Amino acid sequence: MSLDQIFAARTQRMKASEIRELLKLLDRPGILSFAGGIPDPELFPTRAFAGAMAEVMDHDGRAALQYSVSEGYLPLRRWIAGHMARLGIACDADQVLITSGSQQALDYLGKLFLSPGDTALVTAPTYLGALGAFNPYEPRYDRLEPRANRAPQDIAQAARAAGSEVKFAYLSADFANPTGETLDQAGREAVLDMAEALDCAVIEDGAYQALRYRGREVPTLLALELARKGDLDACRTIYTGSFSKTLSPGLRVGWVVAARPVIRQLVLMKQASDLHSPSFNQMAVHAVAQSRFDDHVAMLRRVYGRRCEAMLEALGRHMPAGVRWTRPDGGMFVWLTLPQANASDLLAHALAQYDLAFVPGRAFFADGSGDDTLRLSFSCAGEALIDEGMARLGAAIRDLAGGAGGGA
């Protein structure tokens, strides 16, 4: 007998991420890749972290190297409470939990709400990593369609018919991964109404919230719910945030803001899982956030905003008729819908003939649809390369449409 025969049932829902597998292939020199969804390392505040880390070691080295409390480093939780206040969310430090990246928060929230067969509402497409975090808890998925006004009773009835109960709706309202789209205020209010009717939680993933390049900020779902109820402890929205897209993903510092009973239960999960987030990292992030968060984010918004614009212009120049794409106001992604081609076939052709990579969209759909979609990231590419890349993509799409296998 081999051990994989006695793995728990939940492991059957844990598949290797197509994106991670794909990224392994992209080390090949000369590949022009729009596949990764990672921040540009050239833009990391390395000098600020060098100074902050030396300072932390010199002045607070023992605490930085020691175990710490599960809730997280208090000065950082206070800084986050201040940051959330600027987003219209008045909260206390004890309504903030620090996690090892916001990915850990998604895992805990799956653990908190989902018994096998419970329903999680997710957009189609949704963040692949959220599906990866929820899948081990063996949920049933149904579609969250904030713009389609699906009647809550229909959602509840479909769940009941499957012997299930709706536990939460998960969404990224600002510059979603993978579409780059933003949900308008009416759509956010509609999600809150739906959650009230279904009596379920809302998980608002704010991973890209700070990276807006144009247009006016839309209040977060948590801010809108707080405006309705006046008390965060009465809110059903749980906000997950992250320093990964603003300061550094490598330090793995994220957070959750929620009602105290939710935070208290998540703290128990933190204790069971890894005791606490890294002390040194939290202290360094606190020092850098305090001294230069706004300036650094303003720089990121300028640079990524130019790249986003360059990609949208290049798509306009190079895409054949019938290809549609989103026009993001922020974040890192543009989402394409092809007139007929299969995006996995297109990727194989683009890699072989044009040294070009992107992510086929299918992995982002809980129901396995989306064959005609793909995700492009503009975060790591210079503007000239973006034009070259979109020219190659246009040529690859034309090849497949014409049934040709040739290329540049």
Applying CB under 6 A, the residues found at the interface with ligand PMP are: 37, 101-103, 127, 129, 172, 177, 205, 207, 242, 244, 249, 254
Rounded CA separation 358/347 (Å): 7
Helix (H) or strand (E) holding 76: helix 74-86
Q: Which residue is nearest to ligand PMP (CB)?
A: 101
| Least Å from the CB of residue 204 to ligand PMP | 11
Give the pair of three-digit tokens for residue 83. 């940051």
Nearer to ligand PMP, 70 or 102 (CB): 102
Nearer to ligand PMP, 103 or 373 (CB): 103
| Nearest one of 82, 132, 100, 121 to 203, comparing CA atoms | 121
| DSSP class per residue in 113-126 | H--TT-EEEE-SS-
CA angle 291, 45, 241 (to 5 degrees): 75
Residues 6+ apart with CB under 8 A from 377: 34, 35, 36, 37, 38, 332, 333
Give the pair of three-digit tokens for residue 200. 């379920």
Nearer to ligand PMP, 45 or 318 (CB): 45
Residues 6+ apart with CB under 8 A from 24: none
| Least Å from the CB of residue 19 to ligand PMP | 9
Nearer to ligand PMP, 304 or 354 (CB): 304
| Least Å from the CB of residue 202 to ligand PMP | 15
Nearer to ligand PMP, 68 or 242 (CB): 242
| Least Å from the CB of residue 267 to ligand PMP | 18
Nearer to ligand PMP, 247 or 259 (CB): 247
| Least Å from the CB of residue 78 to ligand PMP | 20
Main-chain dihedrals φ then ψ at residue 120, nearest 5 degrees: -115, 130
| Least Å from the CB of residue 35 to ligand PMP | 13
| Nearest one of 266, 349, 271 to 67, comparing CA atoms | 271
